[in-house]
Amino acid sequence: MESSEDSVSNRVGEFTVATKRRLADDAGGRCSLPDCRVMTQGPGVRVGRAAHICSAAPRGPRGQGGLSTLELASERNGIWCCASHADQIDSGNGALYTAGTLIGYKELAHARALVELKGGLVPKSGWFHGLVLSSRAFPPGSTLRFGKATFLLGRNGTGKTVLAGYLAGFADPRQWQPWLNGLPEEHSVSIRYFDPEPRTYGVTLGHRRIERTRDGQPDMPVAVPVCIRYCSLSHFSAGDAHGLDDLAESLGESSHVVAAVLGTLSSPDISGARVTGSQVEVQLAGSGDVVRWTKMSMLSAGEQSLLRFLIELAVTRRRAQDLPTLLVVDDLPGVFDTRLCGLVLGQLADPDLPFQTLVLAREDPGPEVLDGWTRVELVAAGQQVRLAQEMF
């Protein structure tokens, strides 16, 4: 592998031998894909390869991300893998491995390599890898593989509500309680994540009881050291909820936390927010040179949802400083018009956000809006549901 690559080392954006060596060392000599991790080097041999996060080829799978030729060949743009995974990443399509997902894998591989070396004294690192489902609707082993930003499309009747219920419970186990009496059969759900060691947190719901497991062992009902935030943007109208307290309650946050992040909000549509008395006011962009503050209750439904989304984003950023974090946003395109939907999905697909995102949607906003997203679809097949996702 090495020699054939060196013969084309003058190709645009190609990594130098020194860069490849550093990438391999940072990954502990193993493939960076979390489920692979095969050893790629030994005494005097290196059989792995450096794949490009943003593509070196102009029409490569993930575009060039606006990078210069030098940046394309930089260590920052490389990920160390076994030969077959490097091939998949360089030649596969961008929906399979997005740039954000590859950056996440690279950071995780580095953290795991440090754990092997130092036994735990490593920088914080987390990655949510998969959701494994089993119920009458979801055949055992049904797996949703998380990307950095994952778009889960489930039209009516495909079990999206059930799936949203599982995730709401992972965010707040009290959410599972009302379900229990109405569940005639068992539902098993587990989340696989890395912290950076591999972990699994599972629940079995049904027959009026909840059983939890952690790494296969029975678990006490205590908080798991991850942060899964569930956010539903619909079902809220500021028309009958005017104050900071109502807004905070609808987001499941304390008024103190919401007030603290209001001053940091910024988007092309809302350029500022503040609390006056117990009222929340926002400054809508495009209102001219005169600064005008509008009460939350006077905003349109779309503007209210945008405000709540921006607050959720700001709070989740803070939480992600302490724990591996997944933000679940339910019914996202449903509450926004096409333009706002594109804006919000673009913000969530930013590879630099310090957490992963899962969006649940009933409608498909189209491929141009989903650039940078891992797309999964719930497909009804008779009495069962299949998770349609491109995976190797």
Q: Which residues of 33-45 are buried (b: 16+ CB within 10 A; e: fewer)?
A: bbebbeebbeeee
Residue by residue, DSSP assigns 285-325 as: TTS-SS---EEGGGS-HHHHHHHHHHHHHHHHHHHTTTS-E
Region near Zn ion per CB under 5 A, out of 80-88, 107-115, 218-226, 319-327: 80-88
Please identify, using beta-carbon distances, which residue of 38 and 284 lies nearer to Zn ion: 38
* Residue 8 CB contacts under 8 Å (≥ 6 apart), including other chains: 14
Return the closest-CA partner of residue 172 out of 203, 133, 136: 203
Establish if 82 lies at the interface with Zn ion (CB under 5 A): yes
Question: Is residue 185 exposed (0-12), middle (13-18) or buried (19+ Cβ within 10 Å)?
Answer: exposed
Residues 128, 167 contacting (CB under 8 angstroms) = no
Please identify, using beta-carbon distances, which residue of 33 and 144 lies nearer to Zn ion: 33
Residues 34-73, mask of contacts with Zn ion (x by CB under 5 A): --x-------------------------------------
Rounded-to-integer distance, Cα 368 and Cα 388, Å: 19
Region near Zn ion per CB under 5 A, out of 49-57, 81-89, 230-238, 305-313: 81-89
- For Zn ion, the binding residue among 49, 85, 106, 145 (CB under 5 A) is 85
Establish if 31 lies at the interface with Zn ion (CB under 5 A): yes
Region near Zn ion per CB under 5 A, out of 51-59, 82-90, 305-313, 328-336: 82-90
Region near Zn ion per CB under 5 A, out of 29-37, 123-131, 132-140, 380-388: 29-37
Please identify, using beta-carbon distances, which residue of 85 and 212 lies nearer to Zn ion: 85
- How many residues touch Zn ion under the rule CB under 5 A: the total is 5
Question: Is residue 311 exposed (0-12), middle (13-18) or buried (19+ Cβ within 10 Å)?
Answer: buried
The distance of closest approach from Cβ of residue 255 to Zn ion in the complex, given in angstroms and rounded to an integer, is 48
Establish if 79 lies at the interface with Zn ion (CB under 5 A): no
Please identify, using beta-carbon distances, which residue of 31 and 238 lies nearer to Zn ion: 31
Residues 226, 237 contacting (CB under 8 angstroms) = no
Q: Can you state the angle between helices 338-348 and 301-319, rounded to 10 degrees?
A: 0
Rounded-to-integer distance, Cα 165 and Cα 170, Å: 9
**For residues 108-137, which are near Zn ion according to CB under 5 A?**
none
The distance of closest approach from Cβ of residue 1 to Zn ion in the complex, given in angstroms and rounded to an integer, is 13
Please identify, using beta-carbon distances, which residue of 107 and 331 lies nearer to Zn ion: 107
Please identify, using beta-carbon distances, which residue of 36 and 301 lies nearer to Zn ion: 36
Please identify, using beta-carbon distances, which residue of 85 and 160 lies nearer to Zn ion: 85
Tell me which residues touch Zn ion (CB under 5 A).
Answer: 31, 33, 36, 82, 85
